[in-house]
Structure 1
C-alpha cells in the first residue's frame, strides 16, 4: 500500500492512531526524505506558516516515535538533522530537546514533569501519553505469556529495570521511578502498594519494603517487513 503525501492531516492521523510504534517508525522514516525538501528558512516566497507547521509536526512526531521504539542515540542524531532555525525556535521541538536531555541523563522526575506539564500541541498529545505510560499497572500485563511490545514506553522500561535491579526497595523510591506520588508511597498508601503487588511484587509490612519480581521481556518480533502496509491498513480501518 502506497503512502499518502506528507501533510499535517496525515501526520495527525498517524500520531493519534494505535499503530504499533515499530510500524509507526517505519512509516515516518519513509517521509523524512520528503520533509527534507520543505524549506524551513528564507524569505516569505520560500517559506510559509503551513510549511513550518508541517515540519514541526513531522520532526516532533518522528522524535517521539524514536523514543517509543527505544532508539535514544538515534533520537539524538535526529535532532541534528532537524532544520537548525526551526529547532532553535519551535516550541514543540524545544520540548523534544528538553525531554531528550532528561531521558539521556535518566532524570526520571524531570521526564515525567516534561511530559505532563509542558504545553504539547494537541496533535502530539497521544504520542506523549503513549510514551509516558500504557496502563501497565494491570495484574495481567506482566504474565509470562504476555508479549510486552510496549517496552519503549518510559514507565514500562523503568518498571522492568527496577524489577531486575532491586531485591528490595522502599515504596517512595519505586514511586519516584514511575512518576507516582512519592509522599503518598512513603506513607504506605495502599493504592500504590497494590499497584506493585499487581505486577507480581511482594510487600513486607514489617520492613516496609517492596520485593520486586523480575519481569521477563520477550525478544522483539521483527515487524518491519509489512510495517507500512499494516500501519496504513489500520489507519484505513480507523477512518472507516
Structure 2
C-alpha cells in the first residue's frame, strides 16, 4: 500500500487533510481487493477525524476495525478513549486521555496539534458563552490546573479577580463582514445548552 500522500501530509503538518487521505486510501484498497488491515495506520486515521471535529466518522471507523486488531493495539484503544470523552463532552477527560498514554513518535505530532486545537476550540467556546466564569470551571474546559489557566487567559486579555476566584472574559471584536455559518451556530447553541445544564 502506498502511503506517500499520508507521509507527506504528516511531514508538512497538514493534519486537516489526514482523514480525507486515509478515507480515500481505504476505499481504494477495498475497491482493489487489497487486504490492508494489518498495516493500516488506524491511530493516525482516527486522529485525522478528531482533528477536523468529525466524531461520527471516527465512531464509524472504530466500528469497522476488526476486534483482533483492537485487542492487539493498545494505542488504538487509547485514541478511542479520547473519542469517547469527546462524544460525552467530558472536556477534562479528553485531556486526561491524551496525557494518559505513552504515544509513539509517529503519532505525537498530530496528537500535540489536536490537543492545542481542542484547547483553542474550548477557549473560543468560553469566550462565546460567558462574560464571567470561575477559574475552576475554566480550568476544567482548558485541561489545565488553575494557575496555568490564569496565565493562559490573562495573556489573552482576561481579568482575574483573585478574591472571588472569577475570570472576566474579554470578548473579541466581530468584524462587520464576518458571516456566521448556520452549522457553526447550531454547534455553538448545543455547546452553550450543554454548559448551562
**TM bracket (short chain):** 0.7 to 0.9
Contact 1:16 1:123 in 2 (8 A): no
* Equivalent position to 1:158, from 108, 115, 122: 122
User: 1:121-160 alignment to 2 at 5 Å?
Assistant: 121-133=104-116, 153-160=117-124
Give TM-score, length-normalised by structure 2: 0.75
Unaligned runs of at least 5 residues, structure 2:
182-197
Give the alignment's TM-score, normalised by structure 1: 0.63
Shift of 1:13: 4.6
Other-structure match for 1:18: 13
Correspondence for 1:74: 57
**Hey, what's the Cα distance between the residues in 1 that align with 2:24 and 2:8?**
16
Equivalent positions of 1:1-240 (< 5 A) are: 6-7=2-3, 11-21=6-16, 23-36=17-30, 37-39=33-35, 52=38, 54-55=39-40, 57=41, 59-133=42-116, 153-181=117-145, 185=146, 189=147, 192-215=149-172
Q: Which has the higher contact order (CA 8 A, sep 6+)?
A: 1
In structure 2, how many angstroms separate the alpha carbons of the residues matched to 1:69 and 1:219?
18
**C-alpha separation in 1, matches of 2:90 and 2:22:** 28
Equivalenced residues, count: 175
Structure 1 residues 166 and 219: alpha-carbon distance in aligned structure 2, compared to 1, 3 A threshold: closer
Gap change, CA 1:168 and 1:83, over 3 Å in 2: same
**What is the root-mean-square deviation of aligned Cα atoms in Å?**
2.7
Shift of 1:101: 0.9
Task: Provide structure 1 residue ranges, at least 5 long, that are not aligned to the other structure.
Answer: 41-50, 134-152, 221-240
